[in-house]
Chains A and B, each alone.
Chain A
Amino acid sequence: MIAPPPAKGDAGSAVYVAPAWKMTWWRFRRHKLALVCLWVVGFITLIALMPEFFATQDPFATSARRAYIPPQTLQLTHEGRLTWPFVYGVEGQRDPRTLRMEWVADQETRYPLQLFVRGFPYRLFGLIPTDRHLLGFADTPPGATPNLLGTDRLGRDQWSRLMYGTRISLSIGLVAVAISTVLGILLGGISGYYGGLTDNLIQRLIELLQALPPIPIWLALSAALPRTWPVTWVYFAITVILALLGWTRLAREVRGRFLSLREEDFVVAARLVGASQGRIIFSHMVPSFTSHIIAAVTLAIPLMILNETFLSFLGLGLRPPAISWGVLLQEAQNLQSVVNAPWLLIPGLFVIVTVLTLNILGDGLRDAADPYSS
C-alpha cells in the first residue's frame, strides 16, 4: 500500500490520481538495493555502448611474446604514501627448468594511469572517428603497454577484450529476450485472450518445450550451424536459438495476466459498452500489465546472458574472433589453464555481477509492479 499525497484544500477537491507507471516508480524508488543495481546496470550498458572508449588496447592484437602476463593491478601507494594510481612494469624471465615465462613486477618502472588518452583509432558508436580512451598509459615503450587484467594465451589484453565482450554478451541477451518477448506476448496473449482450444494447444506446446533439457537442445541446434558462417550470422543464429526455448516463461506470464484481467470489471465494462477487441487489448489491458512485462523481461535477460555463456564456453556458441564473456571464459576451460593463469576467470566475475544486478533489479521492478505478489 502506498500513501497518496494528502488531498489539498477541502474534502471536495479533486484527488490526484497517478498513472500506473508512476505508482510503480514510486514503489520501486523505495527499494534502495534495486536502485543501486539500476545504476550498475546503467554503467554496464554504457560499456556495452562504447567498449572502444573503455578499452586500453586493441583487443584483437596478439603478441606471442607477451602471453599470460598476470594482471598489472593499479597501485595507490608508493613508498608508503598515497599517490595517483599507477602500475608497475613487468619483466619476463624464462624459467630454465620448465621453460615457462615468469612475469615479475619491475618496481623501478612506474606507469601512471591517465584519463582521456590517445590510443588506437576507432569510430565511436560506429560513426565518430576518434582515438580518445577513458583510461590509458602514455609514454610507455612500444610493446610494453600495461595490461590491467593481464593477457591471455595469445598475449591479448584481457581488460580490453572484456570491454568488447560486454557489448556482445549484453546485446545477445537483449536481442534474444526481445525475440522471445515478441513471441511470448503474441502467443501468451492469444492463449490468454481467446482461451478454449487455442489456449489448450499453446499451453501443451509450452509444456512440451519446457520439458526439454535446454542445453543439449541448444547444443544440437548450434552444432547445426555451418562452420563457414561469418561471425554476425552466427551471432543472430545463436540469439534465435536461445529465443526458441526462451519465450515460454514470458508467454505463461502474459497469459496469466490476460486471464486475470479478462474478468476485471473495467475490461468487462469496456466489452459491454461495445469497445472493439483491439481497443480492449491495447488501450485497456496492455497498459495495466506493462510494468509486469518490463519486470519479466528484466528477469529474462540475465538468464539469456548465462545461457550464451554456457554455449560459448562449450565451444558451440559464438566462435572466435567474436568476443563474448563465454568466449573469454573458454580460455579457462580446464584446471590446467586456471592453475596457470587464474586471472582468466575474471570475466566470470563480470557475468556474476551483471546477472546479480539484473536479477535484483528485476525483482525490485516486479515487487513494485505488483505489491501483492510474492
Chain B
Amino acid sequence: MKALLISLLFIGLVASFLWPSADRGTVESEAVFRMNLTAEPPTLDWALATDNVSIRVIENLMEGLTAYDAALRPQPAIAARWTVSGDGRIYTFHLRPDVYWSDGKQVTAHDFEYAWKRLLNPATASEYAYFLYDVENAAAYNTGRIKDADLVGVKALHDLTLRVDLKKQAVYFPSVTTFTATFPQRKDLIERYGDRWTEPAHLVTLGAFRLEEWRHEYRLTLVANEHYYGDRPALDRVIFYVVSEETTALTLYETGYLDRVTLPPIAIPRYKTHPDYVRAPFLRGYYYGFNLDKAPFDKVKVRQAFSMAIDREEIPKILKGGEIPATSWIPQGMFAHNPEIGLAFNPEKARRFLAEAGYKNGAGLPPITLAFNTDPTNRMIAEHIQAQWKKNLGVTVLLDNMEWKVYLQQLREDTPQVFRLGWGADYPDPDNFMNLFTSTSGNNNTHWGNAEYDRFISDAASEGDPSKRLALYDAAQRILTETDVPIMPLFFAAQNLLISPEIEGLEVNAMDLIHLKKVKRKPSNKVQS
C-alpha cells in the first residue's frame, strides 16, 4: 500500500514537472496578429518548401524579384525594374540598392544566382526545381545531363544586375519570380549551418518580418524586421499556432485566441450571417478524369455523355461552401476564365450520345468504377455523381476509395476508369492550369494527348498579346472540355473565413496568400492570451 502511494506521488511529480512555460510570447502593448497553420511547416528553406503551410510563413519573411499586387499581377519588389530583350528570351533585372538582410548585409544579384543554382543542383533534391526549367540549361543541370552550374542561364553581371537567359520566350516569367523557390539565399550562412540554417538562431531574411521563435509542432513567432527596405509593418508580432483540427481553430477564434480562421464546411451555414464572415473565390479546381485506355472511356461520346449527365448546380447545395459549379477548367479569378465553355447539363443529349456510342440505356457497358481518395467531401461528391449517372443515364457505377498515397500510386500505375483529382494554382496564370493536360505533363493521368491542344498551350505561354492569348486558351478549353473531354470539371473551390473585426488590411486573394505587412490591429483592444 505504501509502495502504491509512493508511486502515485512519483507519477504526480513527473506530471507537475516541466509544465508548459507560462511565457506566452506576447506583451500587451504590442500589435499582435494570431492565426493558425494547419500543420507544422515541413521546412522554412524556400528552396525546398512546396506546401502551402511553409510557403505561408516564408512569404512573410522573404521577398523575391517581383511580388503580386492585390489583383495577382507581378509588380517590382527587390527588382526595381527589368528589361526584356526583343526576342523575349533575356531578362535583365535591376535590383534596388537599399535592400538588406536582417543581419544588415546588402542583398545582391549574387544571392539570386547562388539561390537559383542551389535550387537546380541535383544534390539539393528540390521538388520545385522545375519552376526554373524555363531558364537555359536549368533542366539539363538539374537532371545531371550537364555538371557545370555555370552553364545555367542565370548570372550576376554585377552586384545589382541579374541576367536571366530563357530557353524560349515565357511571358509569365515575372510571375515565376514571385514564387518562394526563386527567392535569394545566403551562401555564407547555408554553408556555415548546413541543415540547421532555418532555425531561428541562424535564419536571416529580408522581408517585413523576421523569425523570432519556432517551437516545433506548436508555434512560430515573427517580429517586425528593422532592416526591411519598405515601410515598417504596422504589426509588431505575428504568432502562427499549429492547429490542425479545424473545429479546434474555430473554438480558439470564438474564445479570442485567433484573429483569422478558415471555417470547417460543417460550420459554414451557421456563420453565413456572422459579421466576421468572408467568402472569396479560390484558384482551385476539382475534376473527374477519364482513363482513355480503358473501355468504355476510349469512346469520346461516352465521355461527353457522362459529363453532360451531371447537374453541377447541385454541388454547392451539397457541400455548402460557396463552391462555383464549373464546366470549364480555368478558374474564376484567373485570366481567360470562361464559364460559357464546357458541356452543360443535358440529360436527353447525354442519353442520345450514350446510345450513339453503342450503349443504349447503359446496356453492354463494362463495369465502371469511380475512384477517389478517402475523404468525407470526396465521398459526398462521388455519391452525388453516382446517383446522377444512375438517374440520367441508367448506368450503375461502383465507388472505390483508397488512402491518399495508395491512391496516388494507383493513378500512376493502373489509372482507374474514372478518378478524382484537384489542382491548386502555383501562380495565377492559366498556363499553370492548362499545362496540366498536355501530352508531356507528368500530372496528366488520363492517357489523353492532343497535338493541337499542346500547340495552343505552348503558343499561349509565349503570346504577348492578351486578346490573342485569350483566343488560344478558349480554343484549348473547348478541346479539353467539349470535343475531347478527357476530364469533366466539376467546381472551383471557395474560401470561407472569419476575420476578427479588430484586424484591418488583411487582403483575401484567390491564391489564399497571406501578406501581413499591411495588416493593422486596431489599437485599444486587448489581446486575450
Question: A and B from one assembly?
Answer: no
Interface residues of B (CB under 8 A from A): none
